[in-house]
Structure 1
Amino acid sequence: MAAQRKTSRYVVPVAVAGVAAATIGLVPALAASGDPDLPEITARQLIEKIAASDTQTLSGTFKISTDLGLPAFDGLLGGIAGGAAEGEGTADPSAQLTKLVSGTHTLKIAADGPERQKLTLLDGEERYSLVHNGDEVWAYDSRSNEVFHEKGVEEAGRAPEQELPVSPKELADEVLKAAGDTTSITVGGTANVAGRDAYRLVVEPKQQGSTVDAITIAVDAATGTPLKFTLDSTSGGKPVVDAGFTKVDFGKPAASEFDFTVPEGAKVTEGDAAGKALEKEHGKAPEDLEKALGDLGLGGLGEPGKNGADGPEVIGEGWTAVARFDTGAPAPKTGEAPKEVQGFLDSLGDGVSGKFGSGTVFKTKVVNVLMTDDGKVYAGAVTPQKLVDVANSAKK
């Protein structure tokens, strides 16, 4: 069942949202034809339109790109997971789909309700395909000519391990659920996305100190389906997340789209065997990661008993909320952490000091983390100065 849940985590979002975008970031899909002339609509009406959308069938193409303001992940992930994150030599979705957290990728998708979905990752002449058809999942990596197969997968929409919103609609739902008195929501005109007329819903923080400048959701005027999701940072530059279709069709895909035939000469690995093979070749990535975090004094983050019975303490509210952890251990000294981890962190970190003492702020374009020298950790989508201010206020 563990292997089933793992696979479902990557397949289910396509059915749940009816819009298949994998992980974060899609490049802009606005056409050059100008903004369409649509009837006026209020923000409340547009939100209701999104909530009422129930897209079950579609096919389309989109590109995936993300800019977190981070150096390359390759060295860190390779050191922790022994190369598993690169997905080389395996068709297992848990290895392949981690590619989507960085870089730019083109994908093609098809969905026919909760029972059938297909996602194809295009990488030059290489192809990686993931097909869910009824109670079976097939995955094929053309680079290694390997096939992953799993039968008896969990019913779509019921995977307990689905944790991250991974489509424009799910991203929109998460933002709208979190919106409250600290948020401004307006309609920012119209757009043409993948040949479809759309309204632009603009979500902006009212609070000072957030790293989020604005979130824009392009909503299909006819169906209410989010077609594009853009997250801009106060640091400027390229959007952190820009999720939009370049082509989309809401018609029912042909049933043959979800058929799968094992390519000639391909090696087939079944469910649990794939996980065991990956573990044998690359080691137990989650355990290795936990060890690496432990070496950094972060091994107990989020565990009951380490940060209180209910997990980390949340300071503040809305867009400037900060999570406070107590690792129970001083920050590592230079040279104590694995070199691939230490090198990555050194490239991100800046030394800071205040009433709380001293520490290091690790920065991205959205989430920043302050690790104090006495083992406290403050994290949030806030500026480094906001983290220092919170740490100073928390000092007794």
Structure 2
Amino acid sequence: MAPYASDDSTTAGEADEQRSGRRRAARYVVPVTVIGLAAATIGLVPALADSGDPDLQEITAQQLIEKIAKSDVQQLSGTVKISADLGLPDLGGLEDSLMSGAASPDGGGSSAEPASRLMELASGTHTLRVAADGPDRQKLSLLENAAEYSIVHNGKDVWGYDSKSNEVYHGIASGSPKHEQRQPPALPKDFAEEALKAVGDTTSVTVDGTAQVAGRDAYKLLIKPKQSGSTVGAVTVAVDAKTGMPLKFTLTPASGGAAVVDAGFTRVSFAKPAASTFDFTPPKGAKVTEEKDVPGTADKSPKRAPESGKGLGKGLDGLDGMKTIGEGMPSGEAGGDLGGFMNSLGDKVNGRFGSGTVFSTRLVNALMTDDGKVYVGMVTKDTLVKAANAGR
């Protein structure tokens, strides 16, 4: 990675800060097997402001990635709009029934439990209010029709509150010694970090002009796969010109149409939020569920999927991001109605590997072979079949 240019006026402290920034940026430019973006040859051509957009100082893609890595925003408040359209099959009332059963009293769940509620962001359009004051104080509110769901992290405590059901969930802060709980991405920076981890040598990364997001000047970072077979069309990240924080993230599919994920601030301030923002006391009459009382929360450490054979993260003509992730019951053995239901959601395919079923969304496809292997990636159905034929 090329260093920033510096002149004789650079102080020792500034030089140290630049070196620190480059070290933090380094984790983004190491080839990593994720999501089939299989990312980036860094564009070195400076971007000029588009007509009508902010006229900002020229910057290269490499410098912009470093700017993101060095960003250390500790305090903010604002509103985020997030839309997700993965093109998942319509399961009718089945999904709602499963979710309501998981949160029912008999199931020991709570409608205020954070992880399950944040999974709602995986589909549809949602509006969030967010606030942060350092690593120990954050608040996220999911605004709904005539209701609101909030997660409040204040010190060691995490509170979830569902105003519709008047239920409260109380747990231990993520990252505490007791356990660590991974939450789904919700903010533009969360999505951007995942995309930047994929930086490698088979995707083009350039600066694609400038924009204004939530009233702030921003550069646009454009990530596009070079190889064929990817379901990803492009990723665009709008990066705040002053702070380096991603303000908007958009992922469009290769098939065209609406964005698969579009998350961006509509309002943002980097002033310190009022301390009262993070205060929470369970409302009178609310049902309070303690984390320790919920079945299955004794050990929340991440579990790796069992692997069968060799992963497809390397080789196979550069089809990074694909992997054989499991081996289990052959699909033909899924008994009775369940087997028929599962097969109805996918397309039967055949090849040198035998036969199987491909389950598709607008972005992620999965091939389950009849002998129990599973291939998953942000790649097309034909690419999955090619992977299975290669016997990886």
Q: Match for 1:94 among 115, 126, 135?
A: 115
1:11-65 superposed Cα distances (whole Å, 9 cap, x missing partner): xxxxxxxxxxxxxxxxxxxxxx952222221111111111111000000011222
Residue 20 of structure 1 corresponds to which residue in structure 2? none
Equivalent pair of 2:359/2:365 in contact (CA under 8 Å): yes
**Alpha-carbon offset, residue 307 of structure 1:** 2.1
Residue 59 of structure 1 corresponds to which residue in structure 2? 77
Matching of residue 232 in structure 1 with residue 243 in structure 2: no
**1:50-199 alignment, distance < 5 Å:** 50-72=68-90, 75-78=93-96, 80=98, 83-84=101-102, 90-150=111-171, 153=173, 155=175, 160-162=180-182, 165-199=185-219
Q: Match for 1:260 among 257, 280, 296?
A: 280
**Alpha-carbon offset, residue 74 of structure 1:** 6.2
Amino acid of the structure 2 residue aligned with 1:378: Y
Moved more, 110-119 or 131-140: 131-140
**1:345-364 alignment, distance < 5 Å:** 346-347=344-345, 349-364=346-361
Amino acid of the structure 1 residue aligned with 2:315: G
The alignment partner of 1:332 has SS state of helix
What is the rounded CA distance, in whole Å, between the counterparts of 2:366 and 2:188 in structure 1?
27
| Identical-pair percentage | 55
Residue 388 of structure 2 corresponds to which residue in structure 1? 391
The alignment partner of 1:95 has SS state of helix
What is the rounded CA distance, in whole Å, between the counterparts of 1:328 and 1:92 in structure 2?
31
**Alpha-carbon offset, residue 361 of structure 1:** 1.1
The alignment partner of 2:350 has SS state of strand
Residue 323 of structure 2 corresponds to which residue in structure 1? 323
Over 3 Å counting, the alpha-carbon distance change for 1:146 and 1:177 in structure 2 is closer
Residue 210 of structure 1 corresponds to which residue in structure 2? 230
**Alpha-carbon offset, residue 80 of structure 1:** 4.8
Over 3 Å counting, the alpha-carbon distance change for 1:216 and 1:159 in structure 2 is farther
Equivalent pair of 1:330/1:374 in contact (CA under 8 Å): yes
Over 3 Å counting, the alpha-carbon distance change for 1:360 and 1:77 in structure 2 is same
What is the rounded CA distance, in whole Å, between the counterparts of 1:388 and 1:155 in structure 2?
40
What is the rounded CA distance, in whole Å, between the counterparts of 1:154 and 1:245 in structure 2?
24
Matching of residue 302 in structure 1 with residue 323 in structure 2: no
What is the rounded CA distance, in whole Å, between the counterparts of 2:54 and 2:74 in structure 1?
26
What is the rounded CA distance, in whole Å, between the counterparts of 1:51 and 1:139 in structure 2?
30
1:270-310 superposed Cα distances (whole Å, 9 cap, x missing partner): 2222x24xx8xxxx9x9xxxxxxxxxxxxx9822xx626xx
**1:38-57 alignment, distance < 5 Å:** 38-57=56-75
Equivalent pair of 1:115/1:156 in contact (CA under 8 Å): no
Matching of residue 245 in structure 1 with residue 245 in structure 2: no
The alignment partner of 1:143 has SS state of coil
What is the rounded CA distance, in whole Å, between the counterparts of 2:90 and 2:264 in structure 1?
24
Over 3 Å counting, the alpha-carbon distance change for 1:162 and 1:96 in structure 2 is closer
Equivalent pair of 1:84/1:95 in contact (CA under 8 Å): no
Structure 1 or 2: larger helix share?
Answer: 1
What is the rounded CA distance, in whole Å, between the counterparts of 2:115 and 2:326 in structure 1?
30
Q: TM-score, normalised by structure 2?
A: 0.76
Amino acid of the structure 2 residue aligned with 1:173: E
Equivalent pair of 2:187/2:264 in contact (CA under 8 Å): no
Residue 332 of structure 1 corresponds to which residue in structure 2? 332
1:224-270 superposed Cα distances (whole Å, 9 cap, x missing partner): 00001111111111111111111111110000111123323222232
The alignment partner of 2:332 has SS state of coil
Residue 10 of structure 2 corresponds to which residue in structure 1? none
Amino acid of the structure 2 residue aligned with 1:302: A
Equivalent pair of 1:139/1:149 in contact (CA under 8 Å): yes
Equivalent pair of 1:367/1:382 in contact (CA under 8 Å): yes
**Alpha-carbon offset, residue 129 of structure 1:** 1.3
Residue 7 of structure 1 corresponds to which residue in structure 2? none
Over 3 Å counting, the alpha-carbon distance change for 1:371 and 1:269 in structure 2 is closer
**Alpha-carbon offset, residue 135 of structure 1:** 1.6
What is the rounded CA distance, in whole Å, between the counterparts of 1:78 and 1:190 in structure 2?
42
Please report the RMSD computed on the Cα atoms of aligned residues, expressed in angstroms: 3.1
Over 3 Å counting, the alpha-carbon distance change for 1:316 and 1:357 in structure 2 is same
